[in-house]
Structure 1
């Protein structure tokens, strides 16, 4: 798996909307996120159709694919960030010119629904994409330091590094109220001890499972899986989704689970009950309540990269990204 050229200060980052459009963001939010990226030394540009919207706050397949193609074809653009997640990035997959992307590999980053398109790009083009902050994530003020630190670590350097727990985390609607936030102490937890290293795949679980049975689904057998889900899941749907993925994989090296949102009703008791069902998970390293997914803050990790999991000491390390 190839590694796209790392970002440097002065590079242009193109903002595109392969899922929901930027029309759902406030003008102030767009400005805050843009300034945050500019303060990191980047030049920010926007796709032609980013601020347009349809009945479902997205745009047509043709418009979204056009912005994607233009971003990859533009020699001045060194990195691509998605506006936000949503529900429909998988609509684009049959219409993407993967040869164009393959000839112009570059940083592509987003999470949630973007799992579908990022994974498809990696499997079809043979280069790593990234599960990490959207453009809209840079609106966030509190807890931004952790998010930005690992965004830079993953996308701007080549040396292996450890992913470390945040000091505190939040599941509040920060995009509605930046000041009155509630934080809790972060603790990464171990379900089963052990160590492993290997190729890393994952992202948003229900979105990744949309790719099963298609050519866009990666071979996750003997991989390290990083999975998370959002407030729309409940313990029962997470249980069947993780079962489906494990049956597809048949065998994996390690499982790392991102922290759940409160609205999902996924208590620790429920999660352990689900994990206990699978004999495989008693034989491999398994960590949970880790800093990625739909709570804040989050770290960035590579789809198709390589990682080490130490579920004895609660450590994660990115080796190739």
Structure 2
């Protein structure tokens, strides 16, 4: 099952899901952004889902699917076992209007990037993956849905990214601070942070990625200062996008500078 796109109200659907039916007939589910709701619902019931791969965004990318996105998606669909994520040195986050036919004539123009940014990469961290879109995680915490006690996440790997609504660095810090106050940040063995989107039709902020990175570092310095963090991993709302198994295993090898996911 592959989600068409995200949204903002999937949290209202969760109470209507048939747990017995779904757990008796599990299916691989792909989606990101608002689909974080369903992905964590599935994880809590022992079903590994996949963060990434929306139809309209990635299958429908102008020109063709990005090779990095395609390779990661094929691995998740057809090749069980470990898959080493590809580091991207060019990315795109500038959207074009879908209602314009010319939008789909050529592939998006990408900008050069510096690849992954490592913080405290002096060891190896490995654990079950948990996370998704940061705004959705905050909503789930406010609604007290699908968020378990902090000890449940001991040794897990946190991954998160922000959406095209582009929360400010202050908002990002406050969400993480509240996760720290809840006792969550201290539990994770390592963290992957998606490349921050800094452009949308109604908002352009070229300094957002740097400011957001500083917000994340500030929060972890206060609550979990020894945590290894990798920034600018292509796991969110930018192009390309790699697939992250939710409830699978992530191995972050700091000395080797590699990230490997396993379904």
Per-residue CA distance 1:27-50 (angstroms, 9 max, x = gap): xxxxxxxxxxxxxxxxxxxxxxxx
Structure 1 residue runs without a partner (length 5+): 1-79
1:105 and 1:209 mapped to 2: Cα distance?
Answer: 27
Whether 1:226 aligns to 2:168 is no
Partner of 2:53: 133
- The structure, 1 or 2, with the larger RCO (C-alpha pairs under 8 Å, 6+ apart) is 2
Map residues 36-185 of structure 1 onto 2, 5 A cutoff: 80-123=1-44, 125-136=45-56, 137-140=58-61, 141-142=63-64, 144-174=66-96, 176=98, 177-178=103-104, 179=106, 181-185=108-112
Distance 1:277 1:107, change over 3 A: closer
Shift of 1:166: 2.4
Q: Is the 8 A contact 2:82 2:260 kept in 1?
A: yes
Moved over 6 A (4+): none
What is the SS of the residue equivalent to 2:130? strand
Partner of 2:146: 216
Q: Is the 8 A contact 1:98 1:121 kept in 2?
A: no
* TM, length-normalised to structure 2: 0.84
Whether 1:307 aligns to 2:250 is yes
Shift of 1:261: 0.8
RMSD over aligned Cα atoms: 2.0
Whether 1:256 aligns to 2:256 is no
Aligned length, in residue pairs = 240
Shift of 1:182: 2.8
2:254 and 2:177 mapped to 1: Cα distance?
Answer: 21
Shift of 1:159: 2.3
Q: Rg larger in 1 or in 2?
A: 1
Distance 1:281 1:184, change over 3 A: farther
Per-residue CA distance 1:65-108 (angstroms, 9 max, x = gap): xxxxxxxxxxxxxxx01110010011111111011000001111
2:158 and 2:181 mapped to 1: Cα distance?
Answer: 13
Distance 1:148 1:81, change over 3 A: same
